[in-house]
Amino acid sequence: MEEQKIVKHSIYGILSFVLSVVDIFGLFVLFIVMGALEIAIQGGIGANFQLSNAISLFYFSTIILALAAVIFGVFGVFQKETKKFYGILGISLSLATFFIAFFILIGELFFKDKFMMFPSL
């Protein structure tokens, strides 16, 4: 009788998936908070320099978190004798989040007069 080898999920893949879900949630919460603050503060977010810097810092941290999730996902995919599902899922979710955040940043830099999301840039 042959023994079946139990293949476990890669810990790096699971970490990549969790980081990408946290990143998506953080970006979603950031946009909700930015919209609420834009309405609530007279003059918008740009009127408060410290607040706009804190929001920009949080935004850039979501980009860095997406890149970290991609790196852990690649580690999970190339780990031998483990399942690759969470690694591939983490890579795809974090790349989607990264490109959405990156294109919003590019749009902000090139169309600042029409589209002002981050006043401190």
Question: How many angstroms separate the most distant Cα atoms in the chain?
Answer: 75
- Three-state DSSP at 63 gives helix
- 79 CB-near residues (< 8 Å, 6+ apart): 10, 12, 13, 87
pLDDT for the residue 96: 94
Q: Tell me the pLDDT tens digit for each residue of 53-83.
A: 888 899 899 999 999 999 999 999 999 888 9
Return d(Cα 119, Cα 92) in angstroms, integer.
Answer: 30
Distance (Å, rounded) from C-alpha 21 to C-alpha 94? Answer: 8
In this predicted structure, what is the pLDDT of residue 90? Answer: 95
Give me the residues of the chain with pLDDT under 50, please. none
Domain spans of the chain?
35-121
Predicted pLDDT of residue 38: 80
